[in-house]
Chain A
Amino acid sequence: MKAPPFAYARAESVADALALLAEAGDEAKLLAGGQSLLPLLVHRVVRPTHLVDIDGLDELGGSTRDARGLVLGALTRHAELERAQLEGRERLLSLAAAQVGHVPIRFRGTLGGSVAHADPAAELPVALLALDAEIVARSSSGERTIPARNFFLGPFTTALAPDEAVVAVVVPESARRGTAAFAEFAPRAGDFALASVGVAALVEDGRTSGVRIVLGAIEATPVRATVAEDLLEGEALAVAAIAEAAHVAARDCDPIEDPSTSATYRRALVRHLVRDALRTLRGADA
C-alpha cells in the first residue's frame, strides 16, 4: 500500500525539530531512518498528520567518549555500530546491530529510532539494558538522562514525553572491559526475532561479576533474568552453572504468546539461547 497523506518538514537542527514538533500538534512524529515508522505508515497502522524529518542532522550523528563513557548520537546507523571498533562489553552493540533486519535496512535504521520505537523484538534495546546504558532525551526545556531500565515501559511505549526527542545513548565507561555475547532465533535470516538474548560480564581469574542476562522478544519490554544473573555472580562459567542459569532464566520469564508462537516454545528458545550466549561468553574469555 501507499502511505496515508501527511505534511512534511525537514528540520535544520534539534531545536528546530522540537519547535516544528510543537507547532504540528498531537499527531506529529519525528522521522529518522524510517525503517520501522515507514512500514507502519504504508500499512496504515499509524497515521501521523505531520512528519518532522531529523534524518540528516549532523549534530545527531557520530560518537564521542567523555567522562560518562561512550556517547552515541541518535542517528548512529546499525551498519556503523556493526563495524565499530568497540571494546569489552561494548561489543554487544555491534553483535546486536548485526542481527537487525538486513544489510540495506542497517544502512538506514538508527540507534535512536530503535530506542524510541521500542519494538519488543528489537535487538538494540536488549544490548542497552545489558550495558546499563542511559538514553539522553531533549525537549525545549532541556535535557534529561533516563536509564535504559526505566525507559522501556511496554510494546512501542517509552518514558519519552510527547515533546522529547532521543538525542544520544550513553554507555558507561566500565563497559570497555569484560566480554559480551548475543544470540537470537528468527525463522528466517532478517525476520523479527522470536527470542533474543544479550549477555555481558566481567570475567577475572575465571570468576564472573556484573553479570547481565537480558531477554528480548519475550515480554512486553526487554527484561533482565535477575535470578539467573545472581546464580552466576562470582562463579566460574562451568557447564553445569551455565545449564542451571539457562534453566532458571527460562523458568522465570513470562513469555508473550502470538498465533504462531506459544509461550512454551518461547520459553524453550530462552533456555537454548541463554545457554548458547553464555557458552560464547566463556569462549570469548578463554
Chain B
Amino acid sequence: MSSGRWIAADDRVEVEVRLNGEAATLEATPRWMLADAIRAHGLTGTHLGCEDGVCGACTVLLDGDPVRSCLVLALRAAGSRVDTVESLGTPDALHPVQEALRAARGLQCGFCTPGFAVLGAWLREHEPDADAERVREVVSSNLCRCTGYQPILEAFGR
C-alpha cells in the first residue's frame, strides 16, 4: 500500500544545502522549519521571534529570495541555496547595510537586526534605486520593538 517514500514524523534526515556559499548538511525531522535546522547547525545569527511568519527576525535568502525561514520546512530547502546573516560581513568588515544600520542607530536590543540586515542587503542588491515608498513597504515586513523604524528606514535609504 505504501510507496515507501514517506519520511516518518520522527525520522531525522540529512538535508544537503548550499549554506552561505558552501556545501552543508543540515539535519531535520519533517516538522523542523529551516530556521530550526540552521540554528541546530550552529548558525545562531538567524533569530526566531514569533515562529509564525509575523515578525521577520528569521529572514534568510532561499535561492536568492528573502523568505521567513520559520515558514519553510527544512526538508523543502534540500538542493537550495540558503544565505543567512552570517554571509553578510564580519565584526571587522561590516556589510554596507550593517554599517548603515550602525551609523543610523538602526538597532537597539539587536534581536530583530539579523532579519533586517538580510532584508536590507537583498534590497540593496536587487533594487538599489528603490524609492522611499518601496523602502517603507519592504521595511514593513519585519518588526522592531525598539527603534520606531525611522533609523532603519534611514539606514535602508543609504
B69 to A, closest residue via Cβ: A104
B137 x A35 contact (CB < 8 A): no
Given contacts A104-B68, A190-B141, contact A20 B5 (CB under 8 A): yes
A2 x B5 contact (CB < 8 A): no
B118 to A, closest residue via Cβ: A104
A42 x B52 contact (CB < 8 A): yes
- In the bound complex, residues from chain B placing their C-beta under 8 Å from that of A160 are none
Chain B positions 1-36 with a Cβ under 8 Å from a chain A Cβ: 1-3, 5-10, 29-31, 33, 36
Give Cα A180–Cα B11 distance, bound, in whole angstroms.
50
B141 x A105 contact (CB < 8 A): yes
Give Cα A31–Cα B72 distance, bound, in whole angstroms.
10
| A38 interface residue per 8 A CB criterion | yes
Give chain B nearest CB distance to A113 CB in angstroms. Answer: 12
Q: Which of B7, B51, B71 contacts A34 (CB 8 A)?
A: B71
Give chain B nearest CB distance to A231 CB in angstroms. Answer: 34
Given contacts A8-B6, A9-B7, A104-B56, contact A23 B1 (CB under 8 A): yes
Give Cα A100–Cα B56 distance, bound, in whole angstroms.
15
**Interface core residue of B2, B6, B140 (most chain A CB under 10 Å):** B6
A51 x B30 contact (CB < 8 A): yes
Give chain A nearest CB distance to B132 CB in angstroms. Answer: 14
Give chain B nearest CB distance to A233 CB in angstroms. Answer: 35
Q: Which of B3, B71, B73, B140 contacts A53 (CB 8 A)?
A: B73
Given contacts A8-B7, A8-B30, A38-B73, contact A107 B52 (CB under 8 A): no
- In the bound complex, residues from chain A placing their C-beta under 8 Å from that of B7 are 7-9
Q: How large is the interface on B (under 10, 10 to 19, 20 to 34, 35 or more residues)?
A: 35 or more
| B157 interface residue per 8 A CB criterion | no
A190 x B73 contact (CB < 8 A): no
Q: How large is the interface on A (under 10, 10 to 19, 20 to 34, 35 or more residues)?
A: 35 or more
Q: Which of A41, A53, A107, A188 contacts B66 (CB 8 A)?
A: A107
B29 to A, closest residue via Cβ: A5
B67 x A108 contact (CB < 8 A): yes
- In the bound complex, residues from chain B placing their C-beta under 8 Å from that of A56 are 76
| A243 interface residue per 8 A CB criterion | no
Give chain A nearest CB distance to B69 CB in angstroms. Answer: 9
B interface residue numbers (CB < 8 A to A) = 1-3, 5-10, 29-31, 33, 36, 51-53, 56, 59, 65-68, 70-73, 75-76, 78, 119, 137-138, 140-141
A interface residue numbers (CB < 8 A to B) = 1-10, 19-20, 23-24, 31, 34-35, 38-39, 41-43, 50-51, 53, 55-56, 79, 101-105, 107-108, 188-190
16 of the cross-chain contacts (CB-CB < 8 Å) are A1-B52, A2-B51, A5-B30, A6-B9, A7-B7, A7-B9, A7-B30, A20-B5, A20-B6, A35-B53, A50-B6, A56-B76, A103-B138, A103-B141, A104-B119, A107-B65
